[in-house]
Amino acid sequence: MSARVALVQGNEACADGAIAAGCQFYAGYPITPSTEIAEIMAARLPRTGGRFIQMEDEIASMAAIIGASLAGLKAMTATSGPGFSLKQENIGFAAMCEVPCVVVNVQRAGPSTGGPTAPGQGDIMQARWGTHGDHPMVAFVPYSVRDTYDLTVAAFNCAEHLRTPTIVLLDEVIGHMREQVEYPERVRVVDRERPDPAITPPDEYLPFAHADGGVAPMADFGSGYRYHVTGLHHDERGMPTANPTEIDRLVRRLQAKMDLAAASWQLYEEMHVADADILIVAAGGPVRPAKRAVNMARANGIKAGLFIPQTVWPFPVKRLRELLGRAKAVVVPELNLGQLVLEIERHACVGGRAVPVHSLTRVDGELFTPAQLYAAIEEVS
Amino acid sequence: MPVVRDYLRSTALPHIWCPGCGHGIILAAILRALARIDPDRDEVVVVSGIGCASRAPGYLDFNTLHTTHGRALAFATGIKLAKPKLKVIVITGDGDAAAIGGNHLIHAARRNIGITTFCFNNSIYGMTGGQHSPVTPVGALATTAPYGQLEPSFDLCGLAQASGATFVARGTAYHAAGMTELAYQALTNEGFSFVEAISQCPVGYGRRNRMGDAVGMLKWQKDNTASVRAAERMAPEQLEGKILTGVLHANSRPEYTKAYDELVARLAQDKGGTGR
C-alpha cells in the first residue's frame, strides 16, 4: 500500500488520525468550527465497526466517551470553546478515574460565544487548568494539516500509555485550512495495558495501583474484572477513602503523569535555532507566518530562529532552556492576550541571565501577518 | 438462585445511609429481581450519579461506576453503545435524574437505549442536608424552601413516558415485594425502562415535615398510594391525592443499539459511500 496523497482539511486530518490510531467511538455535539470532525466520524465509524452518537449536549458527549473507554473502546469527542467549558467537569473525572480518551478543541476567538468562525488561542490555559483540583493534563497543538494527523495519533497513544485524557488544541485556521498532505503508510499505535488473567486473577486486581511506573493495567468493563470507579478520593481498589495517606498518594501519583508525559510525549520542532539570537516561540496557527518572518529576517542578516512546541502541556521546558541559553531575545506571538508566554517567562532566567521576552498578541479574530512578525523581530534585534 | 448477599461487596459495607432510609429496601428489591434473572455478573454494569442513591453501586459486586452529578445516563449510554451485550443499570435520585440530569433522562428515553433506570425518589436532596428537589411537593418544607415549596413538582413517570421510555413503573419502599416484581419487568424489557421508587428520608425530609419516623413515612406510602389495578375499581373521590403505583406504561419499539448494529451490518454489505 502506498502513502495516500490528498487535499485534506485540518478537521478531516484529525478524524483520519483518530481512525488510524484505532478510535472506535465518537460522541459529540455540533459546534463551529469543529463540526466537520463529527460529520466525518458519523459517516466513517459505522463502516469500520465503530460507533458514533450525537449526544444531547457537550457534557453528555464527554460522559459518553468516558463510558465507551471503560467498556474498552478508544474514544474521542471534538468541540470548541463554549463546549470545552461545558466538558470540564467530566474531563476532570476522566483524569481522576484514569480513563483514556481524546478531547479535540478547535479553538475559536473568545471569550464567551466570541467569533465562531474566527481563529483564537484563548484556551491554552483552560486546557491545563480548566477543570478543578490538581490533575495531569497533556495537550498537543498542531500547526499544519499533516501535523494535525500526527498529533491526533500521538494524543491517542499518549492517552492509552498514561491512562489519562489528552487534549488536541486546533484553532479555526488549522481546522478549516486545506493542504496537500501525504499520509504515512502506517503509524505507531499504542494500546492500553490490560490485566492478564494468567498473571492477575480478578480478586487480586488493583485497578488504581500505585505500582512502579504509576500507571496500572486497565480492565475493560465486561472482561471479568469487576471493579469500582468513582470520582471520589479512592484507594487502589477504587473504593472511596478518607484515609489521608491514601488520598495524598493518589493525587501525587496522578500529577506525576506529567513527568511521564514529559519523558515520552514531549514533541517539538525547530527551524534555524542553532545560531539564533532572536528566538520566536509559536504554536498552532501563528507558526506559518512565523516561519515566513524568520526567513525574511535571515535574508536581511538577522539570526532569527523558531521553536515550535507541539506539546504545550507539559511544556518542553528542557529544550526551551537550552535555546534560551544563547538567545538575546524571545518573541512569543499568540492569538490571545498572552498565555503561552507565561510559561516562557517562567523559565527565561538562565544561568543568572534574564532573557527579555516579548509578548505579541492578537485578539481581533484575524491572523498575524509575516510582516507583522518580521517587524517584531527587527524591533528586538 | 443467588441471594441478595451474593451481590454485595462485603468489604464495602456498612453503607452510608442513615437509619430509617428507604434506599436499602429498594436496592434489595432490585437485587432480588436480578437474582431471578441470574445474569453473568461480569456482564452487569451499574452506573450512578451523585447523591445518596448514587452511592449504591459501590456496594455491589458488578462493574460499577459512580460518575458526576446528573450524568449517569450519559456515561451509561457510552457503555451500552460501545458494548451492547452488557446489562446496563442506572441508579439515580430525584435531584440527580430530574434536576441536573433531566436532559439526559429525556434523551435516553427518546433513544429507547437498553438501560434500566431506577430513580430512588425521596423528595429531597438528602446528601447535602435537605434542599428541595424537582419532586418536593408544593408547600413542603426544605432548607431552601423554609416557607414551603412554591414550585410545582414533576411527574417523573409521565416525563419518562412522554419522552419515549418503553417501560415505566412506580413502586415504593413499603411495597417491597411489588418493587421486586416491577424491577424484574424493567430489567427484562429490551429498551429503555424507568422505575420511580418512592423512598423515605426521615432525617432530611420526614422530620422537617412532621411525617414521623421511618415507620410513619412507610405508613404514609401505604396510605397515599393506589395500584393501577385497584384504581380501576375506585371512585374518583377515593383516588383524590393518591399516587399510582404499578406498571404505568409498556410498549415496544426498536432498541437503539440494536438499530445501530443493523446499520453496521447494512453498511458492511454496501462498500461504496463515505467510508473511503
The pLDDT tens digits of the residues spanning A363-378 come to: 999 999 999 999 999 9
Q: Please judge whether B65 and A89 are an interchain contact, meaning their C-beta atoms are less than 8 angstroms apart.
A: no
- Does the beta carbon of A350 lie under 8 angstroms from any beta carbon of chain B? no
In the stretch 32-51 of chain A, residues with CB closer than 8 A to chain B read 43-44, 46-49, 51
Domain CATH for A284: 3.40.50.920
Q: Given A57, A67, A73, which is nearest B75 (Cβ)?
A: A67
Interchain contact B215–A (C-beta under 8 A): no
* Beta-strand runs (E) in A132-255: 138-140, 165-171, 178-182, 228-230
Measure A45 CA to nearest chain B CA, in Å.
8
Question: Can you tell me the mean pLDDT for B59-72?
Answer: 98
Same domain? For A242 and A317 the reply is no
CA distances from A120 to A145, A148, A366, A367, A381 (A): 17, 16, 8, 9, 28
Please tell me chain A's helix, strand, coil percentages from 3-state DSSP, rounded to the nearest 5: 40, 25, 40
Domain boundary among A242, A265, A288: A265
Does A117 score more than 60 pLDDT?
yes
Separation of alpha carbons B196 and B170, rounded Å: 5
| pLDDT band with cut points at 50, 70 and 90 for residue A2 | low
CB-based contact, B15 to chain A, within 8 Å: no
Tell whether A2 and A18 lie within a shared domain: yes
Q: How confident is the model at residue B103 (pLDDT cuts 50, 70, 90)?
A: very high
Domain count, chain A: 2
Q: Does B234 touch chain A (CB under 8 A)?
A: no
CA distances from B262 to B112, B131, B252, B259, B268 (A): 15, 45, 17, 5, 10
CB pairs under 8 A between A and B: 144
| Closest residue of chain B to A232, computed from CA coordinates | B66
Same domain, A209 and A331: no
How confident is the model over A190-197, as a mean pLDDT? 97
Of A167-171, A289-293, A349-353, B259-263, the one with minimum mean pLDDT is: A349-353
Residues A219 and A95 in one domain: yes
Instruction: Clarify whether residues A350 and A328 are in a common domain.
Output: yes
Q: How confident is the model at residue A1 (pLDDT cuts 50, 70, 90)?
A: very low
Compute the average pLDDT of residues A315-330.
96
pLDDT score, position A13: 98
A29 lies in the same domain as A46: yes
Average pLDDT, chain A: 97
In the structure, what pLDDT confidence band is assigned to residue A141 with cuts at 50, 70 and 90?
very high
State whether residue A226 sits within 8 Å of chain B by CB.
Answer: yes
Residue pLDDT, tens place only, B258-268: 999 999 999 99
pLDDT digits (tens, 9 = 90+) for A263-314: 999 999 999 999 999 999 999 999 999 999 999 999 999 999 999 999 999 9
Q: Are residues A174 and A319 in the same domain?
A: no
Confidence band for A4, pLDDT divided at 50, 70 and 90: confident
Domain that holds residue A354: 269-380
A233, A361: one domain: no
Residue among B58, B62, B79 minimizing CB distance to A67: B79
Can you say whether residue B51 is alpha, beta or left, with left for phi > 0 and alpha for psi between -120 and 50 degrees?
A: left
Contact by Cβ (8 Å): A64, A89: no
Chain centroid to Cα B155, Å, comes to: 13
What is the CB neighbour count within 10 angstroms for residue B215? 11
Q: What is the mean pLDDT of residues A154-161?
A: 98
Note if the pTM is more than 0.95: yes
Determine how many CB atoms are found less than 10 A away from the CB of residue A354: 10
Complete DSSP assignment for B89-123: EEEEEHHIIIIITHHHHHHHHHHT-SEEEEEEE-S
Q: Residue B51 has what pLDDT?
A: 98
User: Which CATH number covers residue A218?
Assistant: 3.40.50.970
Q: What pLDDT, on the 0 to 100 scale, is given for residue B105?
A: 98
pLDDT of amino acid A213: 72
* Gap between the Cα atoms of A223 and A70, Å rounded: 11
Whether B275 shows a pLDDT value over 80: the answer reads no
Each residue's pLDDT tens digit, B126-163: 999 999 999 999 999 999 999 999 999 999 999 999 99
Segment 69-88 of chain A within 8 Å of chain B by CB:
69-73, 75
Percent of chain B with pLDDT over 70: 98
Going by pLDDT thresholds of 50, 70 and 90, the confidence category of residue B276 is: very low
Residue among A63, A65, A227 whose CB faces B67 most closely: A63
**Is the CB of A103 inside 8 Å of chain B's CB atoms?**
no
CA pair distance B133, B154, nearest whole angstrom: 9
B110, exposed or middle or buried, with CB in 10 Å at 0-12, 13-18, 19+?
A: middle
* pLDDT value, residue A351: 84
The residue among A265, A290, A314 that closes a domain is A265
Residue A26, CB-side half-sphere exposure with 13 Å CA sphere? 31
Q: Across the strands, what pairs with A83?
A: none
A162 and A287 in one domain?
A: no
- Four-CA torsion B244, B245, B246, B252, nearest 10 degrees: 60
Rounded Cα distance, B196 and B117, in Å: 8
Instruction: Kindly state the average pLDDT of the residues A326-347.
Output: 97
pLDDT for B217 equals 98
Residues of chain A contacting B66 with CB distance shorter than 8 Å: 228-232
Q: Tens digit of pLDDT for each residue in B10-37? A: 999 999 999 999 999 999 999 999 999 9
Per-residue confidence (pLDDT) for residue A211, from 0 to 100: 81
What's the CATH architecture for B4-275?
A: 3-Layer(aba) Sandwich (3.40)
Choose the final residue of a domain: A236, A265, A294.
A265
pLDDT score for B274: 55
